[in-house]
Amino acid sequence: MTRTIAERLDDPASARAAGRRKMDWAEAHMPILAALRESFAADEPLAGERIAMAMHVEAKTAVLVELLAVGGAEVAIAGCNPLSTQDDVSAALHAVDGVTSYASHGVDTDEYYDAIEAVVGVDPTITVDDGADMVTHIHDEHPELIPQLKGGCEETTTGVHRLRSMADDGALDYPMFAVNDTPMKTLFDNVHGTGESALANIAMTTNLSVAGKTVVVAGYGYCGRGVAKKAAGMNADVIVTEVDPRRALEAHMEGYDVMPMREAASEGDIFVTTTGNRDVVTRADFERMADGALLANAGHFDVEINLEDLDEMAVSTREVRDGVQEYELSDGRRLNVLAEGRLVNLAGPLSMGHPVEVMDQSFGVQAVCARELAANHADYDPGVHDVPDRLDREVAEVKLDAEDIAIDDLSDEQREYMDSWDHGT
């Protein structure tokens, strides 16, 4: 039987106290979740709901989980990455009324999926996922649960891609909100969150400067745009690699060099993958890289940098610094992989994920989407759904209020003008 985090730790009380401090710090800087907490505590919109979650279990996620529990839900959570769980935060979460945490740092593949299986034991009515592992597990192993599932929320680009593929194949049997794709997530979490946290964690893990180096960004979606923008702001030269001609043109028009990875491989000092796809950097690229190159993944799963190819090429490997694995090649060149090729902003030894304020927005969307599913699930058929614009705007308005920022309102005449088709010159 899978053990909870409290059963895994030697000193759960100390871990709980340390995790609680992290949660309290995050909560103090998450005004959206604070505002929602007031309404959730008063109205308990999730009363009677059972929520199964697979997420990066760290302080900001924990504030969301606690909010869902305050709203009346019974919540069970597992990690969505073997290296991103912070055990002290997981222990603090497990101590929250209504929450059971099976998330533990450093688990192997079997333990990872055992934890997801244990979470399914909450007999869920709603799922909240980061990467779609929970959703696919339910469809593959527990289809009997699908009729009771009101819906779910997906946090990431990779997870939404998987869900859309399932929907295209007619294999997605309950409604899912594409939280990743809504403006209050995409424009901030993906761009500013990924950009800042990826580069910050590369710098902290290596203690090396970004300024003056050539940073190769693989992929120019929202995450890639963020990494490129922040790297340029840190005085790096930036090269973008792409497979989509429109995104490549966009990167070109933004002033970045654009070229295939094979060419960029010999130019780069730091390589950051942001595609969500596999085999973005492979043997042919490793063969062209300079001695000392740094390789990091800010996409999702640990398949973007082909570590099997690199391991086969290496004559020796060693951990040269916490979170940095050096691969020495036969010609003496050394290539350095950060965080085992997993998400560098979450899986490294110093990683803390995206900035708190950014995740406040993303998790605010998650919370209102869970509330929407509890109240109005009959309005949504199986498949992938955009987050209703009224929910996205609600979260934005709460954020503006918290920042004491006022904006204009449309007059009745302006609204009528914008809604009409018969106004001419």
**Is position 252 annotated in a ligand binding site?**
no
Q: Is 61 annotated as a binding residue?
A: no
Question: Which residues, in sequence order, are CB contacts of 132 under 8 Å at separation 6+?
Answer: 154, 158, 159, 160, 162, 163, 166
Residue 130 known to bind ligand: yes
Decide: 192 and 222 in contact? Cβ < 8 Å: no
- For 381, counting Cβ atoms within 10 Å of its Cβ (0-12 exposed, 13-18 middle, 19+ buried), the class is exposed
Do the annotations mark residue 298 as ligand-binding? yes
Cα-trace Rg, the chain: 22
Residue 189, annotated as binding a ligand:
yes
**Full strand arrangement of the beta sheet holding 257-258:** 257-258, 237-241, 214-218, 270-273, 294-297, 334-338, 324-329, 314-321
HSE-CB for 159 with a 13 A CA cutoff: 26
Q: Is 299 among the annotated ligand-binding positions?
A: yes
What number of residues does the chain have?
425
Q: Compute the distance between CA of residue 137 and CA of residue 361 in angstroms, rounded to an integer.
A: 28
Q: 85 near 56, Cβ under 8 Å?
A: yes
Q: Is 345 annotated as a binding residue?
A: yes
What is the sign, positive or negative, of the torsion defined by CA atoms of 28, 34, 38, 44?
Answer: negative
Answer yes or no: is 158 a known binding residue: yes
**Cβ count near 208 (within 10 Å):** 16
- 306 labeled binding residue: no
- Give the single-character DSSP code of 186: I
Q: Which residues contact 252 (CB under 8 A, 6 or more apart)?
A: 258
256 is in an annotated binding site: no
Structure tokens at 155: 């946090």
Q: Is 399 annotated as a binding residue?
A: no
Contact (CB, 8 A) for 324 and 281: no
Residue 198 annotated as lining a ligand binding site:
no
27 known member of a binding site:
no
Find out whether 205 is annotated in a ligand binding site. no
Q: Confirm whether residue 180 is marked as ligand binding.
A: no
Answer yes or no: is 269 a known binding residue: no
Q: Is the dihedral of CA 321, 323, 324, 327 positive or negative?
A: positive
Is position 221 annotated in a ligand binding site? yes
Binding-site entries:
130, 155-158, 185, 189-190, 219-226, 242, 277, 298-300, 345, 354
Binding residues for substrate: 130, 155, 185, 189
What residue numbers does the annotated binding site for NAD(+) cover? 156-158, 190, 219-226, 242, 277, 298-300, 345, 354
